[in-house]
């Protein structure tokens, strides 16, 4: 018996009957021989961590555009926080922690530079629009590994594509876009738990809001401090999911209502405030100008894959893959005058 087979046997012994076991995966588009040491979901996690797209997340905006401060979240630290919250919930519910971790680490691989401001701008430029969850799936299926993709399992790809909910329902059991596994549903709710908490933390640090600005009712329900809020939300998800018999991942009505209200508070006072709108106009200028310039000479910038896709889609891939600082450096190189050397 190999180490992988021992791990798979252990999963069968200790995980919940509701867990998605590695041996029950629906598999990969291109079949592969099993690994001696790692389960299929562990292999997926490792492929994501070692991908170029994952490394670029360290220089992509979470909320504040290209922040100079060292303490602000980036898209990479967001993924790490989502992963840790999701793994805590999965372990408590005896679900598959490896699958949960793989989805969490890969869920934002397709995010644009400049966060959701960049996503909105690129969505206006591309004929078919743009959504970061679909782009994350495109990254792992068609763009990574020189166009071959990472060949991830169905369950990880499903969780990546279906993690996003925008301002819609977080855990609507009747929604068609809900992940097919409980582990994917955990990542979907953990994404919200992570960002509503760390975005408040960063907004306080940036002076955009003050502690006393947060509605008192939300403070009473969720807690005043970052750690308290996360703990209360995580505990609620675990308790509500167990109460639902693990038929789905759930949240109590009281906590869900507070989380949705907190998310709306952030949209109104952080994401769409006057400062954010000013930055959005700058983002539209940078991405719009780069898009137009590169469309005029795609052979100088754009990868030749996926070969069957139109040039405009591949230009979108190129811009979506940029980090904040690369986009600004390229913009400066192309559009801003250079100083003349004086001897």
Could you count the other beta carbons within 10 Å of the beta carbon of residue 67? 17
E strands, the chain, in order: none
The C-alpha atoms of residue 340 and residue 330 are separated, in whole angstroms, by 19
Is the separation of the CB atoms in 203 and 275 below 8 Å? no
Q: Is residue 39's pLDDT more than 80?
A: yes
Structural domains in the chain, sorted by start: 3-335 (1.10.3210.10)
Is the separation of the CB atoms in 217 and 265 below 8 Å? no
At 120-177, the pLDDT tens digits run 999 999 999 999 999 999 999 999 999 999 999 999 999 999 998 778 889 876 667 8
**Residues in contact with 174: Cβ distance below 8 Å, sequence separation at least 6, in sequence order:** none
Tokens standing for residue 42: 């562990």
Q: In whole numbers, what is the pLDDT of the chain averaged over residues?
A: 94
pLDDT tier at 279, thresholds 50, 70, 90 = confident
Q: What percentage of the chain reaches a pLDDT higher than 90?
A: 85
**What pLDDT, on a 0 to 100 scale, did the predictor assign at position 11?**
98
**What pLDDT, on a 0 to 100 scale, did the predictor assign at position 168?**
80
Tell me the pTM: 0.96
Is the separation of the CB atoms in 71 and 205 below 8 Å? yes
Q: Is residue 111's pLDDT more than 60?
A: yes
Four-CA torsion 52, 302, 163, 74, nearest 10 degrees: 50
Q: Distances from the Cα of 310 to the Cαs of 128, 314, 317, in angstroms? A: 12, 7, 11
Mean pLDDT over 31-42 rounds to 98
Pick from 144, 141, 116: nearest CA to 131: 116
169 against 332, higher pLDDT: 332
Is the separation of the CB atoms in 96 and 41 below 8 Å? yes
The C-alpha atoms of residue 258 and residue 263 are separated, in whole angstroms, by 9
**What pLDDT, on a 0 to 100 scale, did the predictor assign at position 68?**
64
Mean pLDDT over 230-257 rounds to 97
**What pLDDT, on a 0 to 100 scale, did the predictor assign at position 156?**
98
Tokens standing for residue 341: 């050397």
Burial class (CB in 10 A: 0-12, 13-18, 19+), 166: exposed
Q: Is the peptide bond before 9 cis (omega within 30 degrees of 0)?
A: no
**What pLDDT, on a 0 to 100 scale, did the predictor assign at position 65?**
65
- C-alpha 40, offset from chain centre: 21
Mean pLDDT over 20-42 rounds to 98
Mean pLDDT over 183-205 rounds to 96
**What pLDDT, on a 0 to 100 scale, did the predictor assign at position 66?**
58
pLDDT tier at 277, thresholds 50, 70, 90 = confident
Pick from 185, 171, 5: nearest CA to 95: 185
At 44-86, the pLDDT tens digits run 999 999 999 999 999 998 887 655 667 889 999 999 999 999 9
């Amino acid at each position: 018996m190999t180490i992988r087979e021992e791990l798979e046997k252990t999963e069968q012994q200790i995980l919940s009957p509701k867990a998605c076991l590695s041996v029950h995966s629906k598999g990969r588009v291109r079949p592969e021989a099993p690994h001696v040491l790692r389960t299929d979901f562990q292999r997926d996690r490792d492929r994501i961590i070692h991908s170029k797209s994952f490394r670029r997340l360290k220089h992509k905006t979470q909320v504040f555009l290209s922040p100079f401060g060292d303490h602000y979240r980036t898209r990479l630290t967001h993924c790490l926080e989502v992963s840790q919250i999701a793994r805590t919930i999965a372990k408590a519910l005896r679900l598959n922690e490896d699958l949960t971790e793989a989805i969490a680490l890969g869920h934002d691989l397709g995010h644009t530079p400049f966060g959701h401001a960049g996503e909105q701008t690129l969505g206006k430029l591309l004929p078919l629009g743009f959504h970061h969850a679909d782009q994350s799936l495109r990254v792992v299926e068609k763009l990574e590994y020189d166009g071959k993709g990472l060949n991830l399992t169905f369950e990880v790809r499903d969780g990546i594509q279906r993690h996003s909910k925008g301002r819609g329902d977080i855990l609507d059991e009747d929604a068609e876009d809900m992940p097919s596994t409980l582990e994917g549903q955990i990542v979907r709710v953990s994404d919200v738990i992570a960002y509503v908490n760390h975005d408040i933390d960063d907004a306080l640090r940036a002076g955009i809001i003050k502690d006393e600005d947060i509605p008192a009712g939300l403070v009473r329900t969720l807690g005043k401090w970052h750690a308290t809020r996360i703990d209360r939300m995580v505990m609620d998800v675990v308790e509500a999911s167990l109460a639902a018999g693990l038929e789905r991942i759930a949240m109590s009505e009281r906590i869900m209502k507070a989380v949705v209200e907190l998310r709306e508070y952030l949209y109104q006072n952080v994401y769409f405030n006057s400062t954010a709108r000013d930055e959005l106009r700058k983002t539209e200028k940078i991405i719009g100008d780069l898009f137009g310039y590169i469309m005029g000479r795609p052979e100088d910038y754009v990868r030749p894959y996926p070969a069957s896709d139109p040039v405009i889609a591949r230009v979108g891939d190129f811009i979506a893959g940029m980090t904040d600082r690369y986009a600004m450096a390229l913009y400066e190189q192309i559009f801003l005058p250079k100083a003349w050397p004086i001897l």
